[in-house]
């Protein structure tokens, strides 16, 4: 048995398998092996998944598992697991349960005492976040904004005050309206990015302030699948390296020490004492 197949040796497990979000090459080796080896694949839409399975010569039988039948499917899957069979869950694209069905199923399977094993891979919000250039030290995944009403207003107010990046999904039909709503809630100057058609031929990142991104999509009608990322309201504090770079420009080097520290502190919005002690360290 190969090392990467070790997790398959135990029977009676549910595997949560991520599949590509556009580029078929993003199917992991372990995902293919898992889908080949399990006894049954629970799929959000068996017609959609049959294309992926035939591409990878996977002939494992499928069972439909969507939002409306999750509870009854959970019962069937528990019977399979009790009989020592293993099962995989996949969605139409990306990581199951991330704005896709499966949450109730996973809970039921865990409650019944069986292991649930993730087989990680493509996930559009994470792919967008990893390449958009906004802070990633802390982020909130929002999914789709409510289409209207109080819930939408409340979420937008939360975004206004947010001190970290927010990751949203949006349909191309509603993107411009959402961007306009965000701009009219005091957020027009906020850093943002629209990540479109990730991993596909027409993958694009449109980055800038929310006002700039909104203008872009008012002029170029959005198409394809979209992740919208909104940067934090509060600017993060400059790092020591950034302050050292700011202190080392030719203009700054021409100034006396105290003035130099004062100018950099003002420009970077940090305390003068912090810049001055950095300056002393540099001199040493």
Q: Least CB distance from residue 91 to ligand SAM, whole Å?
A: 5
CA-angle at 49, arms to 57 and 51, nearest 5° = 55
Binding site for ligand SAM (CB under 6 A): 21-22, 91, 93-95, 98-100, 123-124, 169, 195, 197-200, 225-227
> What's the min distance (Å) between Cβ of 133 and ligand SAM?
16
End-to-end alpha carbon distance in the chain:
59
d(CA 16, CA 14): 7
Report in angstroms how near the CB of residue 198 gets to ligand SAM at its nearest: 3
Q: Which is nearer to ligand SAM, 123 or 142 (CB)?
A: 123
Nearest approach, Cβ of 281 to ligand SAM (angstroms)? 44
CB of 78 to ligand SAM, least distance (A): 24
Nearer to ligand SAM, 144 or 266 (CB): 144
Among left, alpha and beta (phi > 0; psi -120 to 50; other), residue 131 is alpha
Of all residues in this chain, which one has the CB nearest to ligand SAM in the complex? 94
Nearer residue to ligand SAM within complex by CB, 43 or 278: 43
The residue among 230 and 243 lying less far from ligand SAM, judged by its C-beta, is 230
Contacts of 273 (CB under 8 A, 6+ apart): none
Q: Where are the alpha helices (DSSP H) in 56-170?
A: 70-82, 103-111, 124-131, 149-161
Closest CA to 94 of 69, 118, 111, 68: 118
């Amino acid at each position: 048995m190969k090392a990467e197949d070790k997790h398959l040796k135990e029977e009676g497990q549910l595997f949560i398998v991520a599949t590509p979000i556009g580029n078929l090459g993003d199917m992991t080796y372990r995902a293919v092996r898992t889908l080949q080896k399990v006894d049954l694949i629970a799929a959000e839409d068996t017609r959609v998944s049959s294309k992926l399975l035939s591409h990878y010569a996977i002939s494992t039988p499928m069972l439909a598992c969507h939002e409306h039948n999750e509870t009854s499917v959970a019962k069937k899957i528990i019977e399979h697991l009790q009989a020592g069979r293993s099962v995989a869950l996949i969605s139409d694209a990306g990581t199951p349960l991330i704005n896709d069905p499966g949450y109730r199923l996973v809970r039921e399977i865990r409650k019944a005492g069986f292991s649930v094993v993730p087989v990680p891979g493509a996930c559009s919000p994470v792919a967008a976040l990893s390449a958009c250039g906004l802070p990633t030290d802390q982020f909130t995944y929002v999914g789709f904004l409510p289409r209207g009403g109080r819930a939408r207003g409340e979420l937008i107010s939360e975004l206004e005050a947010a001190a970290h990046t927010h990751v949203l999904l949006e349909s191309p039909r509603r993107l411009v309206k959402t961007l306009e709503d965000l701009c009219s809630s005091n957020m027009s100057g906020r850093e943002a990015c629209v990540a479109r058609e990730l991993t596909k031929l027409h993958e694009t990142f449109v980055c800038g302030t929310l006002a700039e991104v909104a203008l872009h999509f008012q002029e170029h009608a959005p198409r394809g699948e979209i992740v919208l990322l909104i940067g934090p309201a509060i600017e993060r504090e400059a790092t020591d390296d950034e302050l050292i770079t700011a202190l080392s420009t030719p203009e700054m080097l021409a100034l006396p020490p105290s003035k130099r520290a004062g100018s950099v502190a003002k420009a970077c919005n940090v305390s003068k004492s912090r810049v001055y002690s950095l300056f002393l360290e540099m001199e040493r």
